[in-house]
Chain A
Amino acid sequence: MPFNRGAVGAAASALAGLFVSVYLLFPEQVTSSPYCTINRFLSCGPVVTGEYSKFLGVPVAAYGVVWFAAASALSLLSLRGPHLLRYLTWWGAVGMAGVAYLVYLEFFVIGSVCVFCTLAHLLGALVLGFAVLGRSEIG
């Protein structure tokens, strides 16, 4: 059976996203990185350790870990069962709604943008893109 390119892309993006979101669970490490504080606006400190770094008492990064873990599982399973890409597409859409809210918070509420968080958002967006691509391949 030929590989579904979308499923492969989604799996790679989801696994990379899982790695980044696990890293974001450790704010001390993140804020020590030379790519954290670039200037007052591009600074991950207010994002990963500030008021909005937690939702319902749980670090936002933990939600990212759960989202990427589920996306990784779905995309890996869809390598063998491409019909699962349908669920991955919906999961991706849910993720993008969350990303839109987080980007809004960064720009308009917190006033700082975190490069690592943006990388995680990008990988989430790629999961959605590849899931749709994969579905188009199976017709």
Chain B
Amino acid sequence: MTKRRQRKKEGSRWVTVVAFIPAFLLVGLLAYLLSVPPAPLPSGSGTTEGLPAAEAPDFKLRIITPEGLTDKEFAFSSTRGSVVFLDFVFSWCPHCNNMGPTIKRLHEEYSGRGVVFVTVAGSSGSSPSATAKFLRDHGVSWTAVYDERMSVFQLYGVSGTPTYFVIDRDGRIVRELIGEQPYEVLKAAIEEALRA
């Protein structure tokens, strides 16, 4: 009888240990996640001047419209000779959604002055249909491309969204702005590129 009770107790101890296995695994996962050093963030109002006078890397990506992903390709080299406003976004990014009206207003003011607007939409956590909806929601009528492999995000060193690059007529990056920006800050960056 005592032996039976002891065996039952032993079995119950094992069940308890097994029941804690998911918790142990998740503690391990959490410890791993938190041991990775934090990187600079797309804070909300942070402004950085990155790669001053560095040449904007060339790229080719498929064009996405408010209707969806197309087979047409956009080559960044085709913008050479124009001031370019390059805008990196994710469809799910709240800050990018907040900035939608500001970018549209900039486009209305500067497209007539020869500034080329290009939106690069990331695929991480998104899809062509979600990105097309984002373009529809914000009335994006300028060129938008879909970065399926996140290769252009890497090429430009984009670690958070939105990130804006203002590029002058010679293809040099004049300004890199990270996070939500006031209209005046973006306008000043474009004016600087137009003067350059």
Chain A interfacial positions (CB closer than 8 Å to B): 27-28, 31-32, 34-40, 42-43, 45-47, 49-51, 53, 89, 92, 96, 99, 110-113, 115, 118-119, 121-122, 125-126, 128-129, 131-133, 135-136, 139
Interface residue? B80 (CB, 8 A) = no
Which residue in chain A gives the minimum CB-CB distance to B91? A50
Contacting pair A46 B38 (CB below 8 A): no
Q: How many residues of B contact A (CB 8 A)?
A: 37
Chain B interfacial positions (CB closer than 8 Å to A): 12-13, 15-16, 19-20, 22-23, 25-27, 29-30, 33-34, 36-39, 41-44, 90, 92-95, 124-127, 130, 150, 153, 159-160
**Complex Cα–Cα for A39 and B42 (A):** 11
**Complex Cα–Cα for A37 and B95 (A):** 13
With a cutoff of 8 Å between Cβ atoms, the chain B residues found around residue A136 in the complex are 12-13, 15-16
Contact A51 B19, CB 8 Å, known A38-B38, A42-B36, A122-B27: no
Ranked 9 nearest A-B pairs via Cβ = A46-B125, A132-B19, A129-B20, A125-B23, A125-B22, A122-B26, A50-B125, A136-B12, A49-B92
| Cross-interface CB contact of A51 among B20, B95, B125, cutoff 8 Å | B125
Contact A38 B42, CB 8 Å, known A122-B23, A132-B15: no
Contacting pair B41 A37 (CB below 8 A): yes
Besides A115-B33, A129-B16, 19 more A-B contacts (Cβ < 8 Å) are A34-B41, A35-B34, A35-B38, A37-B159, A38-B33, A38-B38, A40-B159, A46-B124, A46-B126, A50-B125, A50-B130, A53-B92, A89-B19, A92-B19, A112-B125, A126-B20, A133-B16, A133-B20, A135-B12
A–B Cβ pairs within 8 angstroms, 30 of them: A31-B95, A32-B43, A34-B41, A35-B34, A38-B36, A43-B124, A43-B125, A45-B90, A45-B92, A49-B92, A49-B94, A50-B92, A50-B130, A51-B127, A51-B130, A89-B19, A92-B19, A96-B22, A112-B124, A112-B125, A118-B30, A119-B30, A126-B20, A129-B19, A129-B20, A132-B15, A132-B16, A132-B20, A133-B16, A136-B15
